[in-house]
């Protein structure tokens, strides 16, 4: 700030404020208002300045020059003495020197303040550099921590891979060695997990502590710097203002004193002089005063120039202050942003590390579970293979022993018969030749057959074998029975009591007993039966192949494989499937997926393995069987998200999800120019070329249909390559993206089974069921006994799929409708096997009583409600794959009954290929042994295992429902 000279007047700087302010250090005047001045910095300073200032520290004001005299020369009309003038000038020079000294001191203090501010800025810069170093250190430590985590992860994977390789290298050893290897791998996983946790826990804690310490230090440093700058700035401004105010007050006092002294001198001077002298002296003094005025004007101009320069410097200082304030705000904002970003990055890194740790824990637990499951599956496969080998060897030895015993019995019987007939021939010859005379009772002697062939032809067992060989026949009319009795030869009454027989006059022929006679129904075929031996050999080879396939598949199970990948084939699933139809005809009226999902735990608990879902696609009909856009899964049953949630719930309980896919027909979205609905929309935008040409309603341009026509919607031409490719892609999308595990194929009569084989091989489902619905044979309104043609058509379709798909056993359902009404003889065919597909190809037969078409609100072919328990007792204890209908389990109150039957099936180990041996099938009831450990009875037939001579073992009652059904398990 430049110097200001004040001759005979006081010059100062004022700030005009809108309001008056009074304080302890302020003097109030109506034309003067002093305010707090901002710090003034040198313009020549080239250092970077960063000052933290608050907005209220600066007060913008207008600056003006004031004086204690007017600009006109009339003010100086008064005359002063020369001595007084010199004294005033000396006083003014002293005041000016004092003002200059004060100004220089203020400038020195300002320079000191600037130096101190520069030091503070340097300290702030050093603190920022340290903070950056801390941040860099923290980031480096985080990178080291991440590197250590990755190293630990790689070490974990390496050790896991080593354990897997070690496991596979030890597979050729004994089972105990395998168990040790698995335990070692589990221990290695646990140690790796513990080491990883120990390695990462202290690193994370150290990093968090360092980050928090750095943030605390930076915040404290910023606060201290800001406080120091604020205190120093306020102090310097207050001191400058106080000094300036003091100097101005002193200048005003001096000016007042000079004015008073000048008036006194003028008054004294005027009293002692005459007018002429006064005039001359006044003129001379006027000339001198004019010079003085000129000098003062020149000094005033210089002062004004200094004031203007000070104004410019003050404006520059304001600009620098504003710039420093903006920089301070930007620095503060940047610091806050950096702190927030560092906090966010730290939290994000911590979350990522924690998620990585959780993921590694989850992967470790999943690998552990998968390894244990794989080991158990492999152990079970080895046990199954050993059991199959033992069973095969035992059955082979048993067959040879039975054949030898049969041959021995046959030889003995033939020798005894030959001997007996030789005796009879000799006796007859002696009688005819009258070699010996007849005794007294000889003329009445009649040879009695006790247990010989005559009994074999007339007892109850012969009727059984006749029923097995010829099948049931109509009841013999009375007139025919009377005629038969008249022509039948008369035999003597049978002697049951041995004493009575010995004392009788009738002579016995001593023929062999029935158990000594070889029976073809009880023994294995002879060596000469080439066709039968070929069938048996084929079954044996197939059984060996399945056992070896199961063993090999168990050996190739990897650690990461899921249970769905261990299924044997799509036509049978695991062989122990129990399917639950999870909907009925009215399910679309509710949020069905949300209603079905909570039932997953209950279904898994009672023993269900697969759940049949309703059609998932958008459909013209709400039930889903008239699909349009195949990729739109927002149907009447719920949204695609709800469907995925429901499938995930099933998977969480270990259940398979079977999707109901309609491949035969599809509803079009647009009309052709002819007004025919044959143009499809959505992702699969097909045209008339995708419709068969023999569909009369939709003007298709494709090839003729390979099956029956479904007239309600356009039938798809599966012979076209683009149609098959699109369907394969869609099925794989349902498998991979949606989560379905298998298929229920709707209306497969509409196209060839060869296309079904292609679709199944492309999508690789865990289980597939085809709906081949065909009418049974009836005669005069009654169900025919022989339904071979019906089940042959279903078997032909299964053959066309190459066995890749099973089919609903409609034949068994139709026969059960009549058989359970005291016609149980319908449940055995002439070959002694179960009727329906169950008797010919049980592994591909899916048995059921009711579905959404036959029951529910449609009721096209409902099963007799009073026979539901007997029907489920039959299909849940016999081979094949049984299906449970939703209404029966949750609406008809059969939950506990079905749970009990499923438990019996599980305990007996019944699967889709279990053997069936039927002991009785007549009007009163049905008795059969399934597998080796279960016997069941239907009807009011009075029977238990102790009454069956050929049923070995000790049996215990498991379920007793009286005349409905009974179940026994082998102890």
* Residues with a known catalytic role: 746, 771
Q: CA of 306: how far to CAs of 5, 7, 65, 301, in Å?
A: 10, 15, 11, 8
How many helices (DSSP H) and strands (DSSP E) are in the chain? Answer: 19, 21
Dihedral sign computed on CA atoms, order 451, 457, 462, 468: positive
How far apart CA 224 and CA 208 sit, in angstroms, is 24
Neighbours of 88 (CB within 10 A): 21
| Residue 944 CB-density burial (10 A; 0-12 exposed, 13-18 middle, 19+ buried) | middle
Beta carbons of 347 and 519 less than 8 angstroms apart: no
Q: What is the 8-class DSSP label of residue 553?
A: H
Report which of 457, 572, 447, 558 is spatially closest to residue 506, judged by C-alpha positions.
447
Beta carbons of 24 and 7 less than 8 angstroms apart: no
SS3 877: coil
SS3 745: strand
Q: In 869-896, which positions are buried (b, 16+ CB within 10 angstroms) versus exposed (e)?
A: bbbbbbbbbbbbbbbbbbbbbeebebee
Beta strands in 711-773 (DSSP E): 742-746, 768-770
How far apart CA 221 and CA 131 sit, in angstroms, is 10
Neighbours of 832 (CB within 10 A): 15
How far apart CA 883 and CA 847 sit, in angstroms, is 6
Residue with tokens 């709707």: 746
Sorted by sequence, the CB contacts under 8 Å of residue 822 that are 6+ apart come out as: 923, 924, 939
Beta carbons of 622 and 612 less than 8 angstroms apart: no
Sorted by sequence, the CB contacts under 8 Å of residue 890 that are 6+ apart come out as: 599
Q: In 456-486, which positions are buried (b, 16+ CB within 10 angstroms) versus exposed (e)?
A: beeeeeeeeeebbeeeeeeeeeeeeeeeeee
Q: Residue 835's Cα: distance from chain center in Å?
A: 43
How far apart CA 771 and CA 745 sit, in angstroms, is 6
Report which of 738, 798, 811, 795 is spatially closest to residue 768, judged by C-alpha positions.
798
SS3 110: helix
Q: In what order do the strands lie in the sheet with 934-939?
A: 916-921, 925-930, 934-939, 965-970, 955-960
Report which of 571, 658, 668 is spatially closest to residue 615, judged by C-alpha positions.
658
The residue count for the chain: 971
Report which of 868, 820, 824 is spatially closest to residue 848, judged by C-alpha positions.
868
How far apart CA 473 and CA 456 sit, in angstroms, is 20
Residue with tokens 């826990």: 201
User: Rounded to 5 degrees, what are φ and ψ at 515?
Assistant: -70, -10
How far apart CA 681 and CA 667 sit, in angstroms, is 10
928 backbone φψ class: left, alpha, beta (φ>0; ψ -120 to 50): beta
């Amino acid at each position: 700030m430049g110097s200001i000279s004040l001759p005979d007047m006081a010059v100062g700087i004022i700030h005009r404020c809108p309001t008056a302010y009074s304080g302890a250090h302020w003097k109030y005047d109506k034309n003067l208002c002093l305010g707090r001045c901002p710090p003034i910095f040198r313009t020549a300073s080239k250092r970077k300045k960063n000052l933290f200032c608050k907005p209220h520290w600066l007060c913008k004001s207008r600056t003006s020059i004031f004086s204690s005299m007017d600009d006109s020369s009339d003010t100086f009309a008064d005359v002063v003495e020369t001595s007084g003038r010199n004294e005033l000038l000396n006083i003014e020079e002293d005041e000016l020197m004092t003002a200059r000294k004060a100004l220089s001191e203020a400038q020195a203090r300002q320079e000191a303040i600037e130096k101190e501010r520069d030091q503070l800025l340097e300290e702030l810069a050093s603190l920022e550099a340290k903070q950056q170093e801390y941040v860099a250190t923290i980031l480096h430590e985080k990178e080291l921590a991440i590197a250590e985590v990755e190293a630990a992860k790689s070490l974990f994977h390496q050790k896991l891979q080593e354990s897997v390789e070690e496991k596979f290298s030890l597979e050729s050893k004994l089972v105990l060695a395998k168990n040790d290897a698995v335990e070692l791998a589990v221990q290695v996983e646990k140690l790796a997990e513990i080491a990883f946790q120990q390695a990462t826990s202290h690193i994370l804690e150290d990093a968090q502590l360092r980050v928090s310490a750095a943030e605390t230090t930076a915040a404290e440093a910023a606060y201290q710097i800001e406080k120091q700058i604020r205190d120093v700035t306020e102090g310097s401004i207050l001191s400058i203002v106080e000094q300036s105010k003091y100097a101005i007050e002193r200048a005003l006092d001096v000016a007042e004193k000079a004015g008073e002294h000048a008036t006194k001198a003028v008054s004294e001077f005027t009293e002692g002089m005459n007018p002429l002298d006064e005039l001359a002296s006044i003129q001379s003094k006027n000339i001198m005063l004019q010079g003085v005025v000129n000098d003062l004007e020149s000094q005033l101009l210089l002062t004004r120039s200094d004031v203007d320069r000070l104004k410019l410097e003050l404006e520059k200082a304001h600009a620098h202050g504003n710039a420093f304030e903006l920089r301070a705000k930007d620095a503060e904002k940047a610091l806050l942003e950096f702190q927030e970003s560092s906090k966010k990055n730290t939290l994000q890194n911590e979350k990522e590390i924690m998620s990585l740790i959780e993921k590694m824990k989850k992967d470790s637990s999943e690998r552990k579970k998968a390894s244990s499951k794989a080991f158990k599956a492999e152990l079970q496969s080895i046990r199954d293979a050993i059991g199959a080998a033992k069973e095969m060897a035992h059955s082979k030895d048993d067959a040879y022993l039975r054949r030898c015993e049969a041959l021995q019995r046959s030889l003995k019987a033939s020798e005894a018969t030959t001997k007996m007939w030789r005796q009879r021939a000799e006796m007859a010859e002696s009688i005819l030749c009258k070699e010996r005379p007849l005794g007294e009772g000889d003329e009445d002697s009649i040879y009695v057959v006790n247990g010989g062939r005559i009994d074999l032809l007339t007892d109850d067992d012969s009727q059984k074998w006749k029923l097995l060989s010829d099948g049931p026949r109509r009841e013999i009319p009375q007139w025919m029975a009377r005629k038969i009795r008249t022509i039948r030869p008369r035999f003597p009454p049978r002697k049951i009591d041995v004493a009575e027989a010995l004392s009788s006059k009738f002579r016995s022929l001593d023929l062999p007993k029935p158990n000594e006679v070889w029976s073809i129904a009880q023994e294995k075929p002879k060596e000469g039966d080439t066709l039968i031996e070929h069938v048996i050999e084929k079954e044996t080879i197939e059984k060996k192949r399945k056992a070896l396939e199961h063993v090999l598949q168990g050996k190739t199970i990897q650690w990461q494989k899921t249970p769905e990948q261990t299924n044997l084939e799509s036509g049978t699933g695991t062989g122990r499937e129990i399917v639950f139809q999870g909907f009925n005809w009215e399910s679309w009226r509710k949020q069905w997926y949300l209603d079905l999902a909570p039932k997953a735990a209950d279904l898994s608990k009672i023993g269900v393995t697969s759940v049949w879902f309703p059609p998932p696609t958008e459909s013209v009909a709400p039930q889903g069987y008239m699909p349009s856009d195949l990729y739109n899964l927002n149907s009447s049953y719920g949204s695609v998200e709800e469907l995925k949630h429901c499938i995930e719930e099933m998977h969480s309980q270990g259940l398979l999800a079977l999707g109901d896919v309609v491949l035969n027909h599809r509803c079009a979205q647009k009309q052709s120019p002819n007004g025919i609905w044959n143009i499809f929309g959505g992702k699969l935008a097909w045209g008339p070329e995708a419709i068969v040409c023999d569909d009369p309603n939709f003007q298709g341009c494709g090839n003729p249909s390979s099956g029956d026509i479904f007239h309600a919607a356009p039938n798809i031409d599966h012979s076209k390559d683009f149609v098959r490719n699109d369907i394969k892609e869609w099925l794989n999308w349902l498998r991979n993206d949606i989560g379905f595990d298998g298929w229920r194929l709707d209306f497969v009569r509409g196209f060839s089974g060869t296309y079904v084989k292609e679709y199944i091989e492309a999508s690789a489902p865990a289980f597939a069921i085809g709906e081949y619905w065909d009418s049974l044979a009836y005669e005069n309104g009654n169900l025919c006994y022989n339904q071979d043609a019906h089940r042959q058509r279903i078997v032909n379709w299964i053959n066309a799929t190459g066995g890749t798909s099973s089919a609903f056993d409609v034949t068994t359902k139709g026969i059960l409708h009549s058989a359970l009404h005291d016609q149980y003889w319908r449940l055995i065919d002439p070959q002694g096997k179960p009727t329906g597909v169950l008797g010919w190809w049980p592994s591909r037969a899916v048995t059921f009583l009711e579905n959404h078409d036959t029951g529910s609100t449609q009721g096209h072919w409902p099963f007799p409600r009073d026979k539901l328990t007997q029907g489920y007792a039959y299909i849940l204890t016999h081979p094949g794959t049984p299906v449970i209908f939703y209404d029966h389990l949750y609406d008809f109150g059969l939950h506990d009954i079905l749970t009990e039957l499923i438990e019996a099936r599980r305990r007996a180990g019944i699967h889709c290929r279990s053997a069936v041996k039927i002991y009785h099938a007549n009007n009163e009831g049905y008795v059969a042994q399934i597998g080796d450990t279960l016997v069941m009875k239907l009807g009011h037939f009075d029977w238990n295992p102790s009454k069956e001579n050929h049923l070995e073992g000790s049996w215990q009652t498991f379920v007793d429902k009286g005349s409905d059904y009974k179940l026994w398990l082998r102890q």
